[in-house]
Structure 1
Amino acid sequence: MTDFATDDADQRRRSIGARRNPDTQEAILEAAEALVFEEGIAGFSIEAVAKRARAGKPTIYKWWPGKTALLLDVYHRRKPANVHMDTGSVEGDVLAFLTGVFVHWGDTGAGQVFRFIVAEAQRDETAAASLAEYSAERRLQGSALFERGVARGELARDVDCGLAADVLAGFIWHRLLTGRIERDPDKLRVVARQMVRGLMAPGR
């Protein structure tokens, strides 16, 4: 199974264009992760990360344009790869995604991290750009889930897979931001069925 989180993070790093020392990079990410999950968002800052990692602030800012970009990489380090499983059906894939994301957000503190990232993006242009880049990557990944269904003949050929991915993302973001993370498997099964039913190919 592909570790999409690692692949996406690597792609972002290549796009920055700055050569990174792997040991220093790992020290910064470990320090950032430890701060988030020991001190919470209130204790997280580039200064605190630099001190803990014994790295210079200019080095951190060279590789991450702001703390939101760094937080997104921390978020990726803890995100399970199996939220994007190929179960053999679109409904099964959607259910696996919903279950995995909500467990991750609810059990690890990652939900609070992501809520903070979304809030920062409303007031800071650098944070907004980092979130937009992240969202574009997630849209491609979510689209692939529905593209598999089209390729199998399970979904109608004219389904807009990007739009379907937006609908799926919109649902989980709305639940996170309104404090309604769903954990009941029966209710999630209903959500997955309802989301997919309107996309089915005729006769299925």
Structure 2
Amino acid sequence: MVGTRAQRVERGPGRPREERVTTAALNAVIELVAEGGVEAVTMDAVAARAEVSKPAIYRRWPSKQALIIAAAETRIGALSVPDLGDVRAELREVLTARLASYRRPGTGRLLAELIGAAAGDSGVRGEYAAYADRMMGETRSILERGIARGEVRSDVDIRSAATLVAAPLVYRLLAEPELPDAQFVDDLVDLLVRAVGRSA
């Protein structure tokens, strides 16, 4: 009876193991970037740190860049903000969620390394740009809803305004001595609404 049960466990659904491999690999990437930057991330190093096989990694991510971006998305991923009927409240939701991610240990180094890799290698710039585009998708939707509700000026360039929303938190995190906080988010929301609002 015991042997039968063991066989059932071995033949059971593979999802828990699959999830363990994925989680371990992505966590290993974040740890390696925090310790030595993107140059420290190799398939061998990730496999050793995560205690998984290289073939298991390659089955999930075809390249180092894809693996790093997947790891980044576990920290800074796409958001979904419901229609709150108020562009100010929705922008605060986005920025508060980003603030929580940015203040986690290692996220600043991860962001800096991503930006540096994108700037330094034209061959992978498109992959990082596509990732950034996904991260800003919800902000663009919020601004479009604001235009539809008459809260945001119809002449506002959505792409430029979305960049304006995203950039200040990153800049404060990476380039200024003071970490972003809730007060900074509140100040930023006020400035953004003044910049794009109908009353601006």
Establish whether residue 34 from structure 1 lines up as the match of residue 27 from structure 2: yes
> Per-residue displacement from partner, 1:172-202 (whole Å, max 9, x unpaired)?
332233144311x333212111111132225
Name structure 1 gaps, 5 residues minimum: 1-20
**Superposition CA RMSD, Å:** 3.1
2: CA distance between counterparts of 1:72 and 1:25? 19
Q: Say if 1:82 and 1:139 are closer, same or farther in 2 by CA, change over 3 A.
A: closer
Displacement of 1:80 in angstroms is 6.8
Q: Say if 1:170 and 1:65 are closer, same or farther in 2 by CA, change over 3 A.
A: farther
Matched length: 181
One-letter code aligned to 2:23? E
Q: Say if 1:191 and 1:78 are closer, same or farther in 2 by CA, change over 3 A.
A: closer
Name structure 2 gaps, 5 residues minimum: 1-13
One-letter code aligned to 2:85? G
Q: Secondary structure at the match of 1:159?
A: coil
Q: Which has the larger radius of gyration?
A: 2
Q: Say if 1:152 and 1:104 are closer, same or farther in 2 by CA, change over 3 A.
A: same
> Percent of counterpart pairs with the same letter?
25
Give the corresponding residue for 1:186.
183
8 A contact 1:69–1:127 mirrored in 2: no
TM (norm. structure 2) is 0.72
Aligned residue among 126, 131, 148 for 1:129: 126
Deviating more after overlay: 119-128 vs 21-30: 21-30
8 A contact 1:150–1:157 mirrored in 2: yes
Aligned residue among 172, 178, 197 for 2:194: 197
Displacement of 1:22 in angstroms is 7.1
Deviating more after overlay: 160-169 vs 119-128: 119-128
8 A contact 2:81–2:90 mirrored in 1: yes
8 A contact 1:95–1:188 mirrored in 2: yes
8 A contact 1:36–1:44 mirrored in 2: yes
Displacement of 1:148 in angstroms is 1.2
